[in-house]
Chain A
């Protein structure tokens, strides 16, 4: 029986993330999921981008790849095609995945590359000082939107669905058990899977928007998120809420199968 402890690089701890940051919870859920699936650490690559969540690779015992900002899925496509027997788990923050890496996300989902993409969404660029990202809710205060963010946000999960992903889900670090379950499903899924995880950034987003300390932010997250089924029955009010749940879980040939079929 594998334990999550086998996947954590203990000598590297404590991690560099702020007190109250949710990234550590995601790290733990990932190690729990890998242990539950009993994937040996040398058959896993944790690929990450740039930003707070990009440092996740410093704390795992698996293979680790940290690329350039936004390009994780493009690197991971090459890794996967060269070593299809290895599970490639990509971790990209909201700015990384939705802004600079948005095009790569669309095309990795469209090709249905057998990758797992985790998007820890802390609603801003934490590493660089709390600027707004494409996933920051409109009107939010950030270090580059002192009067409130003028731009709309978009739903990265729906984007992944229309682009062609096989599995798409969203949860929060408040819902740890659900996160681990979704992670396991996503890792096992043949094809492109995306899991967005809403996570608090008390240092910037919470402070700028008066959402309180870490614990209060977790409560705020819980209040702001409703199950997908309920969300679908609502009308008019949706903008106030995030949904959580499994948006898509479908079967489609993955990229490598198609390539081999065509070759």
Chain B
């Protein structure tokens, strides 16, 4: 066991190294640049590759290319760069290419405030690229979790053959905290490998859990990767049955196994009256507020979401039966609150504590909202 005093960005970079990432392609952007800077140092020391591309479109493209070449690959960016990545994010979904995108959210839209935090890209992470798909999105709320969930993101990417987005924010990216790292390397999930006669390999034939075995370029198994609707051979097709089958499998390969994602963590009294639901850096204020409210004798608990997408609808729905009100704490105008409302489905009251002035939510603001609930 070793302890480090890392920034959120540093913890992401070291987490990626621990997860076996050996390829980083990126483009400098605040507030994620420290990840690129650190990777440019750490990767060559590990026989890995750091490449600085001409923009974020190219960055994710190079990451996808390296992943199909068999490497664990990732990139890091922020709002404007994440917008540019949407194109190839959809490609990675369609072509089922494992990769990790670390997105340190900053204040937007547009250039916004480059160094100020926000949590306003939650919906963009879910729906930013066109088409019908599921997206895997994790959200750490401490520097320790930046490390742990980066490791988890790589494993989930390999497990589901899917891009995984790690949503941090400018405040967490630059926060320094103590991180504990185990001496033994974290368990590693690897993409399923083809077996048997190479002539019979079909690049997109689903395995038992709907995930196709993935050959790398250069293997004796011929790999065909495309963003077009494709049949099991990887050849393009516009047949309605092929299209429907593909979309259904892309959805179900994730939805049927959603319970493998990091589940929400509850802290607080056994029978809370009010539940604070939060994610990312806002969790910290929510937990502090819950603790103070408990000290004053109020039954307030805090549910910390670690995976935002697919949304833990069932967990929220269960809580809605047990509490009087849910308060969603987030640094935007109310993006995830709507999702919580859908899950709650009228079983209790839902309101939001929202901050959108480029500052982190404080426990005082939450306590003020609690007194109204």
Contacts and interface: CB of A to CB of B under 8 A. Distances in A.
Within 8 Å by CB, do A and B touch in the complex?
yes
Contacts of B70: 82-83
A14 interface: no
A103 B54 contact: yes
A146 interface: no
Contacts of B220: 42
A199 B66 CA distance: 32
Contacts of B217: 45, 63, 65, 79, 82-83, 86
B62 A81 contact: yes
Nearest to A43: B218
Nearest to B220: A42
Contacts of B61: 67-68, 71, 74-75, 77-78, 104
Contacts, number: 136
Contacts of B53: 74, 77, 107
Contact of B226 (A64, A80, A85): A64
B218 A63 contact: yes
B216 interface: yes
Do most interface residues of chain B lie in helix, strand or loop, or is the interface mixed?
Answer: mixed
A45 B64 CA distance: 14
Contacts of B69: 78-83, 86
A62 B219 CA distance: 11
Given A64-B223, A65-B68, A78 B63 contact: yes
A223 interface: no
Do most interface residues of chain A lie in helix, strand or loop, or is the interface mixed?
Answer: helix
Contacts of B51: 77-78, 81, 259
B87 A64 contact: no
Contacts of A82: 23, 49, 65-71, 73, 216-217
Interface residues of B, number: 42
Contact of A64 (B66, B221, B224, B227): B224
Contacts of B16: none
Nearest to A66: B226
A120 interface: no
Nearest to A110: B54
**A-B interface, 3 closest residue pairs, ranked by CB to CB distance from nearest:** A82-B69, A78-B65, A263-B44
Interface of A: 12, 41-43, 45, 55, 57-58, 61-68, 71, 74-83, 85-86, 103-104, 106-107, 259, 262-263
Interface of B: 23, 25, 44, 49, 51, 53-55, 57-59, 61-71, 73, 87-88, 91, 216-228, 234-236
